[in-house]
Amino acid sequence: MLRSVFGLFAMLALVAGAIAQDDSRLQRDIDALSSPPLAGEIRSLGENSPNAYVLFMQDYLKNIGSYGGAVNGQLTNATIRAIVGYCREAGFGETCIRGPLLPESIAAVSEAVAAALAPAVAEDPIVTAATPVAEAPVTPEEQPVAVAVMPALPEGWRLNDNGGRGTLGLVVELVSAGPDEAVIRFSGTAAQSGYFNVEVGPVLPAAAGSWVTQVSARRNTAPDTAGTVWLRTARIGAEGYLGELFDGIRINAGDLEATLSGTGVPSPDTLKLLPYVQLSVQAGETVDTTLTLSNPSLSAAP
C-alpha cells in the first residue's frame, strides 16, 4: 500500500513538474538515444529523465495508434491509460498497473519497445521479382510477345519496414538491380515515424575479433532535409536483436558517392551479424530519397 501511495505521489509530482520542463531539453535526452534505441537506453531514460521518458512513450504510442493525447511529457490520465493498455497487450499488464514509472514497469516496457523497433531479420523481402507478364498466345501471323520482368534485389539482400509493413505510408520502388547493386527510391509523406532497413547481405555467424562492414553508397534526396540514412550492422543473439556492432555511419544528403566503412568487435553473446542500411523518417515528413547501394561486404579483419 505504501508503495502504491508513493507511486501515486510520484506521478502527481511528475505531472506538475513537467509543466515547467524545457521541452527542448527533454527532446535532447531523447535524441541522445541510439536509432533504433536499445532497451537499456530507454530504461535509463525512464530512471534518469522521467519526463523525457513520458514524452518518448507518448510519441511512440501515438505513432502506433495507441494514444491520442498531447505529446508534452506530462503523465496525464490519458497517458497512463495508454501505457497500461500497451503493457496489457504486450502481456505484462499487472506489472504496469501498479505504476507506469516504477522500475519494473519501465524495464518491461523498455524491452518491449526496443524489440518492436529493432531490425527484423525478414523471412521474405518486401521487394521481390514481379510475377512475369503472361505471354499472349502465338499464332502464325504474330511474333512472340516479350516477357516483362521487374528487377529483384541481389541475392541475400532484403528490405523490411520496421514500422510494420506498409504502415509508414511511403512508396518503395526498386528502380534497378544487379548482382551486387540496387537502386531503391522511397517517396511520399510518412504516416508515422519509423525505419526502412535494406539488409545488404546475408546474416553471418559471428566470431571473436574485429569485423568490418563496407558499402558504396550514393544518395539523391529532395528536399535535402528529409529522412536520415545510416550504415549499420546489427548484433543478433539467442533472443534476437542485441544492439549495433559500431556507431552508425551516416550517408549525407545530396548527390554523394562514398565508400562507407564501420568496424566493431561483437560481444560474447553475439551469434550472428547483419549488415544493413537504414532510412529513418519522422511522422509527417515528405520524403523523396533514392539510394544507390553497391558492393557491400562484411568480414572479419585480418
> What is the residue-level pLDDT of the chain in tens, covering all 302 positions?
334 433 444 444 454 444 445 667 888 888 888 778 888 889 999 998 899 999 999 989 988 888 988 889 998 989 999 999 999 888 888 888 888 999 999 999 998 888 888 776 544 444 433 334 344 444 444 444 444 444 688 988 988 876 555 678 888 889 999 989 999 998 888 888 888 889 998 889 999 999 999 999 988 876 656 788 889 999 988 878 888 999 888 887 776 778 889 999 999 999 999 999 998 888 888 888 899 999 999 999 87
Determine the structural domain holding residue 98 and report its residue range. Answer: 2-117
Asked whether residue 147 is domain-assigned, the answer is no
The answer to whether residue 53 sits within a structural domain is yes
Is residue 182 domain-shared with residue 55, that is, in the same domain?
Answer: no
Query: Does 56 map to a domain?
Result: yes
Q: Are residues 185 and 296 in the same domain?
A: yes
Residue 125 lies in a domain: no
- CB count within 10 Å of CB 160 equals 21
Strand pairing partners for 198? 159, 277
Enumerate the β-bridge partners of residue 176: 183
Q: List Cβ neighbours of 66 (8 Å cut-off, separation of 6 or more).
A: 82, 85, 86, 89
Q: Domain holding 271: CATH number?
A: 2.60.120.260
d(CA 22, CA 32) in angstroms, rounded, equals 16
Set of cell numbers at residue 38: 536499445
Domain count, the chain: 2
Q: Are 162 and 292 found together in one domain?
A: yes
DSSP H/E element including 8:
helix 2-19
Residue from 52, 56, 117, 57 nearest 280 by CA: 117
Residues across the chain = 302
Q: Are residues 75 and 172 located together in one domain of the fold?
A: no
